[in-house]
Structure 1
Amino acid sequence: MNGAVSRSLSVLLVDDAPTDLLLAQEVFGDHAPTVQLRTACGAQVAFAHLRDGSLPLPDLVLVDVNMAGMDGFEFLTQLRATPELAHLPVIMLSGSEAQHDVDRAYDLQATAFLVKALSLGDFMAQVEHIVKFWQGCRFRTARVPVS
């Protein structure tokens, strides 16, 4: 696998739409079996659990931008302001391609901004690409030249 170690990747998906969470669980289960997916229904719930330690820290957080109550931007702001959580990579998910949303996400130190796929096939491809990329980043092993 070209230096990548086959380990489980821990992902936290934060969204306030239960149907979107169920769909994501199915897609991750079918197309990303090496991922330990945890879900949180809403940003306030996710942040509270991360802060109090009742959720193990994930390798990656996927957070919907548009949620009732605390939205994805406020979640990211609070995460970055919390020293023990500030290091977590966060991908912002949105149905909008609006440049002001993209700019705001990066101004708040999002790791990436991803426009949600409109079709199931495209969503499955997004999941596969995210997992492949993050597993490569997270678990890349150094190759030491042998003399």
Structure 2
Amino acid sequence: MNNPKKSILILIADDDAEDRMLLKEALEENRLKNALQFVENGEVLMDYLHGEGQYQDREKFPLPGLILLDLNMPKKDGREALKEIKEDPHLRMIPIVVLTTSKAEEDIIKTYDLGVSSFITKPVTFVALVDMMKTLTDYWFELVELPKV
């Protein structure tokens, strides 16, 4: 299998600064070499994906190969952003993993109905987060063939 790890950007949409830091540290702990970008809400996520505002430079802000999406964010929540992404013919092929504190069956059903690739509840300990991120990155970057975006 080819090694796409070097070229696939992970875009993480999460409004919680501590969660963003912990996700970054968990990925670093797993020695993941992928570039990371972070956005704080659904509106900024959509600006990034459409290359608008501060995200116009596609060299600096390329389209992601994977989005990790929190559901509960201000301005535009993850559900709304997910719906918009999956309705956009230029963006809908980007795999999206919901990574949230929600365990609500309603959220699980709705996000899968909207086209999410996976739904994961955030672990409560850092050790569990590191393990979960290892499994997630092994799956998405070692096992799965991702489309070029």
Query: Fold-level match, TM-score > 0.5?
Result: yes
Distance of 1:90 and 1:28 partners within structure 2? 17
Higher strand share: 1
Match of 2:145 in 1: 138
Bigger shift: residues 20-29 or 105-114: 20-29
- After TM superposition, the score normalised by the length of structure 2 is 0.84
CA deviation after TM superposition for structure 1 residue 6, in Å: 5.8
Question: Which structure has the larger Rg over C-alpha atoms?
Answer: 1
Match of 1:7 in 2: 5
Aligned-residue CA RMSD (Å): 1.6
In structure 1, stretches of 5+ residues that fail to align are 140-147
Q: How much identity, in percent, do the aligned residues show?
A: 25
Distance of 1:112 and 1:138 partners within structure 2? 15
1:82 aligned to which of 85, 88, 111: 88
CA deviation after TM superposition for structure 1 residue 138, in Å: 3.1
CA deviation after TM superposition for structure 1 residue 18, in Å: 1.4
Indicate the SS of the match to 2:9: strand
CA deviation after TM superposition for structure 1 residue 32, in Å: 3.5
Distance of 1:58 and 1:20 partners within structure 2? 19
Question: Number of paired residues?
Answer: 137
In structure 2, stretches of 5+ residues that fail to align are 56-60
Match of 1:44 in 2: 43
Deviations 1:52-81 (A, max 9, x none): 263311111000011112111001011112
Bigger shift: residues 95-104 or 21-30: 21-30
CA deviation after TM superposition for structure 1 residue 31, in Å: 1.4
CA deviation after TM superposition for structure 1 residue 34, in Å: 2.2
- After TM superposition, the score normalised by the length of structure 1 is 0.86
CA deviation after TM superposition for structure 1 residue 4, in Å: 4.7
Moved over 4 A (4+): none
Query: Is the 1:65–1:72 Cα contact (8 Å) retained in structure 2?
Result: yes
